[in-house]
Amino acid sequence: MRARLAILLGLVAIVAGCGERSEPIGALPVFPQTASDGLNREVDVTEAPKRIVSLDPGLTDAAFQIGAGPLIVGGTGDETQPAQAQHLPSMLDDSGGPDIKAIRKKAPDLVVVPSGMVTDKAAADQLANQIGANVYVSDNTSVDAIEHDILQLGLMTGHSGEARGVFSDMQRRIDAITSQFKGKPPVPVFIDRGYRYTIPAEGLAADLVKLAGGENVAADADPNTPVSPAQLRADAPQVYIAQAGTGVTLEGLRRSPATKTIPAVQQRNFAIIPESVLEASGPEVVHSLETLARDIHPDLEMGSQ
């Protein structure tokens, strides 16, 4: 995927430099443009969109960072940053899916929706027909996929240069974090989301743990079933990370005969993280990586990136 992003970055630069305009490269790319979304659909943008509904808070944040924020006219109601995005009207229905009627009232040219809401090409095409606008399906299952979406957002909105800048800054910060444990063996880690339920073997949380130099000891476990104490003792994680608000504490783990012999518990390599660390998308994903890297490598002194 890194190679794919490098190729994409080069292609975006070439496309942005085409045409007869003399503006800075990436400032005013030529339309039409074709973007590739998280479902490998081609999204043809004939002209720069004027109104966007974004149901992906991470890409909403990215839109503001690349200068396309003023185009956003609707969101999820759960946006936390930037401050301007916190006042976006919700475009979700009672089930948490796209509210077709509300979105159509906003008359968007482009709708961004995460793959968790639209899981296949047929559903994405149907949504586009219902709304009467382009639909781009974002992919929050890995850091690479998030970076890809940011570059594509720049391509679709006429802010390719700014998107490349955000992408490059993310790459710089990620390299600064991962270089500090490069070449070291991965650290066995257990992520406890409460009552010993853990993260899926694939997805953003698993990708972040791996990128942060960890090895998910419960990768073979069913995330819908608690990991047994016996299995945890056998997996012998060196670091135990619990999700905030679940009641899991180091003291409780040390008191319990079922968990007190786990290496991470004995060595007090225990941390509590907010749920957002495992779920944040957009440029904020770098902060999630830094948080996990600090907790997985407590012996390293990592400055703020």
Cα torsion for 232, 235, 241, 242, to the nearest 10°? -20
Angle formed at CA 118 by CA 66 and CA 203, multiple of 5 degrees: 75
pLDDT of residue 300: 79
**pLDDT class of 299 with cuts at 50, 70, 90:** confident
Q: What are phi and psi of 64, to 5 degrees?
A: -70, -35
Q: How far is CA 148 from CA 99, 139, 219, in A?
A: 26, 9, 25
Give pLDDT tens digits for 180-224: 999 999 999 999 999 999 999 999 999 999 999 999 999 999 999
pLDDT digits (tens, 9 = 90+) for 224-249: 999 999 999 999 999 999 999 999 99
Residue 142 clears pLDDT 60, i.e. is over it? yes
CATH class of 187-296: alpha beta
d(CA 55, CA 25): 29
List the chain domain ranges. Answer: 2-176, 187-296
pLDDT value of position 274: 96
Q: What is residue 210's predicted lDDT score, i.e. its pLDDT? A: 97
Tokens of 21: 């305009």
Instruction: Name the CATH superfamily, with its identifier, for domain 2-176.
Output: Nitrogenase molybdenum iron protein domain (3.40.50.1980)
In this structure, which amino acid lies at residue 203?
G
Q: Do domains 2-176 and 187-296 have the same CATH topology?
A: yes
Which tops the pLDDT comparison, 4 or 275? 275
Scan for tokens 């998910």, then name that residue.
216
Predicted confidence (pLDDT) at residue 12 exceeds the cutoff of 50 = no
| pLDDT at position 17 over 60 | no
**Whole-number Å distance between alpha carbons of 214 and 295:** 10
How much is the pTM? 0.88
Question: Taking residues 145-173, what's their average pLDDT?
Answer: 97
